[in-house]
Amino acid sequence: MSEQTVHKSESEHGAPLADPFGRNVTYLRVSVTDRCDFRCFYCMSEHMTFLPKRELLTLEELDRLCSAFVARGVRKLRITGGEPLVRKNIMWLFRALSRHLESGALDELTLTTNGSQLARFAEELARYGVKRVNISLDTLDPARFQEITRWGHFDKVMTGIEAAERAGLTIKINTVALKGVNEDELEDIMRWAHGRGFDLTLIETMPLGEIDGDRVEQYLPLSIVRARLMERWTLVDIPYKTGGPARYVEVKETGGRLGFITPLTHNFCESCNRVRLTCTGQLYMCLGQEDIADLRAPLRASDDDGLLQAAIDEAISRKPKGHDFVIDRRTRRPALERHMSVTGG
């Protein structure tokens, strides 16, 4: 892997990125691969066809793209996948991007992971300035974990979580609420997470991509989950924010934070400050829309970032006001054909 190079965009800070509705774009989520070592049944089919590796941006190109956004006022970078830690030499990218933390241009570098590779990489992530990780975990039952992930190993994830704790990383658990699958376990997951000092965020299943099952049957509105929790727990709304779409409460009995991400029962678009970059250089201005901007072509057209910054400006000018997510009981079709692993969780 060659040494990182400094491109002109890093020293030429242009105007901050603002969309047509006056929202500043300060948060970039970057998918570094569409591949994953799990096959969670609500996320993808068991026999996925992934992108040819030759279509992926190199790590150097991902660094340059991220740096172009940092130069325009992006303060938070989240590395996602698929499973980001299965990307070969991925620690090179974290090391390269850490220079923006050191310079003060970036507030936070973080990632979302299934935890399977954290035992290998937790200490190195901490060394490169990562302070928080989101870990996807939908059950505490090893047999159920196997059913949900198909290919995952529960013990390996628990070992990864322990490694992240030892490395001093702050951990947030992300749990997708699934009707008839883990809804009987959500209180237990909350109690476990808060007992370990972790925040917990519950997420409604999102209608992205064809899967082997039926998302209509999986869909569990978090309004129902919250109402059930309030029968036994005291939930107090708090203004805590991490830059993402979750709305948080404090659970008085545990002292822990509980977040709700509700793209279907409560649209969270009014304060959206983020865009998503795929591992092939496509920029999605909205997770719930198909409109994309190709940043790979201008990236490769010139070593100067002028064309790239112009393409970014044009893309942000098309950022929509909100998404169109819906669980449709009539068509039983996903809102969008692409899988979540394409754009990152």
Distance CA 174, CA 258 (A): 10
Q: Which amino acid is at 344?
A: G
Residue 331 lies in a domain: yes
pLDDT at 245: 80
pLDDT at 212: 52
CA dihedral 205, 209, 211, 213 (to 10 degrees): 50
> Strand order of the sheet with strand 282-284?
235-237, 247-251, 256-261, 199-204, 170-177, 132-136, 108-113, 76-80, 27-31, 274-277, 282-284, 292-294
Distance CA 23, CA 270 (A): 9
CA dihedral 302, 308, 314, 317 (to 10 degrees): 180
Burial classification of residue 46, based on how many CB atoms lie within 10 Å of its CB (0-12 exposed, 13-18 middle, 19 or more buried)? exposed
pLDDT tens, position by position, 92-106: 999 999 999 999 999
4: helix, coil or strand? coil
Residue 93 lies in a domain: yes
CB 284 within 8 A of CB 343: yes
Residue 2 lies in a domain: no
Residue 248 lies in a domain: yes
Q: What is the CATH number of the domain that holds 122?
A: 3.20.20.70
Residue 165 lies in a domain: yes
What predicted TM-score, i.e. pTM, was given to this entire model? 0.86
pLDDT at 54: 86
pLDDT tens, position by position, 62-88: 999 999 999 999 999 999 999 999 999
Residue 289 lies in a domain: yes
pLDDT at 258: 98
Instruction: From first to last of the 345 residues of the chain, give the pLDDT tens digit.
Output: 444 444 444 444 479 999 998 999 999 999 999 999 998 888 877 778 888 888 999 999 999 999 999 999 999 999 999 999 999 999 999 999 999 999 999 999 999 999 999 999 999 999 999 999 999 999 999 999 999 999 999 999 999 999 999 999 999 999 999 999 999 999 999 999 999 999 999 999 875 545 455 556 788 999 999 999 999 999 999 999 877 788 999 999 999 999 999 876 555 566 788 899 999 999 999 866 778 999 999 999 999 999 999 999 999 999 877 755 554 545 545 444 544 445 555
Domain range holding 287? 8-343
Q: How many domains does the chain have?
A: 1
pLDDT at 336: 46
